[in-house]
Amino acid sequence: MSTRLAGKNIFLTGAAQGIGLAIAEDCLREGASLFLVDRDGALLAETVARLDAPPERLGWAAADISDSAAIASAMADAAQRIGPVNALINNAGINVFNTPLETSEEEWQRCFDINLKGAWNCCKAALPGMIAAGGGAILNIASTHAFTIIPHTFPYPLAKHALLGLTKSLALEYAAAGVRVNALAPGYVETQKVIDYWNGFADPEAARAQTMALHPGRRIAKPAEIARAAVFMISDECPFMNAACLVVDGGLSMLQHAV
């Protein structure tokens, strides 16, 4: 075990699988204590058992981040289980993809409730304690959808653009209080959701190859590669990084078109 994150008490959302699970594994290896939140309680319980960390270093709660009262309660529980939260990683999110005029009111509300309001609920619950303690770090897991547009993915990019706005606003508002707020923008990542997407095609291998071919390096990220970036950004190794967005997409967002 390393000590890069020793002394960090991290509140991590969307922790039961994919990028969230990879971040949890890496943060524990780096010496952090974690409080995990996911709305899928059964899957989260399996994740906690898999992580197999001492109870003083690993707490958890099944909660929907769009429910501000549930998140406030979870934050209080975290303080009791692992100590005052001095780092927050807003990883939870959902894909809501449609065309603008076909997007239902329910889809719109669900997209913003999780991808924007949920992140704000967690920030709002964590910030008072960080300010009182003289500092802290918040990392919002955004997406390359936060500054690029893929047709037929409405309204997801709108929510991720807004998440960057939230990041910058909070960063400037609370910089003098010692709180850093940054964002991490992954591109394509080989999570189970992406694998399920490929498997929805008649030829999953062809769909996978097509995704890989979009990228300059002819591959996409592994969850562990996103986790490494998250560890760096939440650590004290970048104390002057604030209101920033780190892009981890293999160069895809810089590519004008594939050749």
- CA 225 – CA 238 distance, rounded (Å): 18
Residue 249 in contact with residue 186, Cβ under 8 Å? yes
- CA 215 – CA 97 distance, rounded (Å): 21
Q: At which residue do the structure tokens 């807003």 appear?
A: 90
Write the Ramachandran bin of 33: left for phi over 0, alpha for psi from -120 to 50, otherwise beta: beta
Residue 146 in contact with residue 161, Cβ under 8 Å? yes
- CA 155 – CA 240 distance, rounded (Å): 33
Instruction: Establish whether 174 is a catalytic residue.
Output: no
Q: At which residue do the structure tokens 């303690």 appear?
A: 133
Radius of gyration of the chain (CA): 18
Q: Give the CA count within 13 Å in the CB-facing half-sphere of 229.
A: 23
- CA 53 – CA 165 distance, rounded (Å): 35
Contacts of 238 (CB under 8 A, 6+ apart): 232
| Sign of the alpha-carbon dihedral angle for 232, 236, 240, 242 | positive
Question: Which active-site residues does the annotation give?
Answer: 156
